[in-house]
Chain A
Amino acid sequence: MDYLRSFRNYLALLAVLLVASCSSGYQLAKSNRAEYAINKDVAVDSSVVKTYLPYKKQLDAEMNQVLGYSDVLMVKSNDLPETILGNFFSDAALQQALKIDPTIDFAMPSTKGGIRVDVPKGDIKLSNIFELMPFENELIAFTLKGTDVQQLLNFIAATSGQPVAGLRMKIVDRKPVDVFINGKAFDPNKTYRVLTSDYIAGGGDNALGFKDPIEKKVLDLKVRQALINYVKENQAAGKTINPKLDGRITKD
């Protein structure tokens, strides 16, 4: 079985004291473990393909639609404080939300964990956006007290950075410093207009700051739809998607 990914020359011998009262007729003597990689070397069960083909045809007709073009492969990361994929995601959400509500100061439309897959270089299909953002979450604009924004900033710093737009900060000792919102230094005595999703606002991924808002405005725009619109509009304007790192979040 040449597709067995890795035979590991590892052997652990474990002497185990059996429980004397065990009345079972069998005792565990040995266990062997392996892992199979499911790749092109594995044969295909045509009956499964036959089962999913009608679904696939229906799906492909819609999902293979090309929305735009990316100049770069955008890679998902749960570790880096800033990624081009995170910047693309949050810039797109903020830009689209600003068309509905121009008073928004900054955005955290998703957590890193909510950004699900890479976006390939080349054609961006509708399926890519569905896999990037499979959830049905909606964009919401909040008015938050500075102290609540501080909680959100603390969350972003404590989790080593999140996808943001309109916000710059450094993370030092897991704390936010040199925070700039919409180009101005953060002032905890001011109120801010913050864009996020209903998932995050509801405490999803344990994000903080949205429990006690001054105001809440549902934009009637799904996060996914904002991404779709952004890519389509760039394409219509003859522009490709080419996000850059700009140091909006750095970590010591």
Chain B
Amino acid sequence: MEELQKINRRDFIKTGGIAAAATALSLSSLNGFAAGDVLKLTILHTNDVHSRIEPFPMDGSKNQGLGGTARRSALIKQIRAKESNVLLLDAGDIFQGTPYFNKFGGELEIKLMSAMGYDAATMGNHDFDNGLAGFNKQLPHANFPILCSNYDFSNTLLKGATKPYQIFKKAGLKIGVFGIGIELKGLVEGKNYGDTVFIDPIAKANEMADLLKQDLKCDLVICLSHLGYKYASNKVSDQVLAKNNKNIDLIIGGHTHTFMDQPEDVQNLSGRITTINQVGFAGINLGRIDYYFERYKGKRIKTASPYIISNELDS
């Protein structure tokens, strides 16, 4: 029923780029944009920033001079000045990796994320490194929600401190965002997660995504995941989740510190696309995905509609 067509680099050049390809498919989005029928949403994202407040020191090591919150903030401000509908998200492991965390317990990391206007973040395994109390202590500095759907904190001091999901409304669009965490056993010391109950991530992610897309009528569903991009074993990962869900549009991943050449588009159980993206670690990169939404002409659309994916921003 559905067609999955990929145009490689050579074909891309042959057809003369996006405009030609779009014309060939009679895509009306560009016309619609002019008529006000198209909404643009910009997703900005980080993962595994690991307390990297300043750029890596200039000491000859591999990542010297890269990253830094002051630059990230300036870039985010620049983008916000141009775009009206921006969501800024983080996929966890905010904490641990520089002495800023050892000395100040994550206070500065969270304060700066609040200052940069993060809209939501999920928890990575290292966000448990000072225990549940250590994480809880920094929450007063967060002006954004911590989204965790598959950690049950009911019997811990974090009860009520996190949310499973949050819906963001941007210019008439509803964007559902939820968080999925990795199994803590074998990764985090028991005393640091206490009575946290880990819930199967695939089942919970589907429950969340179905709720957000079908019941709560979200136009886009985003999963903030700290599962890891992929593994040699069949351990649950973003790739496994992407193949085994029905309603996730985008997985913003973390944990494996993967520098992806480009986002990966996976066909999910409903035949649609679940995109996975992850941008390395330490705030070396900032990821960006612009989504364009077209207004329905009628109540029901039965024909297949193209969804163009490009690894280039519109100028």
Contacts and interface: CB of A to CB of B under 8 A. Distances in A.
Q: Does B bind A?
A: yes
B69 to A, nearest CB: 5
B285 A5 contact: yes
Interface stretch (B6-14, B146-154, B158-166, B237-245): B6-14
Given A14-B4, A26-B294, A202-B190, A116 B97 contact: yes
B231 interface: no
A36 B29 CA distance: 26
Contacts of B97: 116-117, 131, 134
Contacts of A52: 53-54, 69-70, 108, 112
Contact of A12 (B7, B249, B314): B7
Nearest to A119: B61
Contact of A35 (B174, B283, B285, B293): B285
A7 B112 contact: no
Interface string B47-80: 0000101110101111001111111111101100
Given A13-B306, A134-B97, A31 B291 contact: yes
A140 to B, nearest CB: 13
Interface range for B = 35 or more
B269 interface: no
A16 B70 contact: no
B72 A38 contact: yes
B84 interface: no
A48 B112 contact: yes
Given A17-B271, A42-B71, A73-B61, A25 B290 contact: no
B189 A202 contact: yes
Contacts, number: 296
B74 A32 contact: no
A130 interface: yes
Interface string B173-196: 110000000000111011000000
Contact of B307 (A30, A46, A75): A30
Given A10-B262, A26-B295, A27-B305, A39 B29 contact: no
Given A28-B220, A48-B70, A116-B97, A36 B286 contact: yes
B313 interface: yes
Interface string A205-245: 11000000000000000000000000000000000000000
Interface in A107-123: 116-122
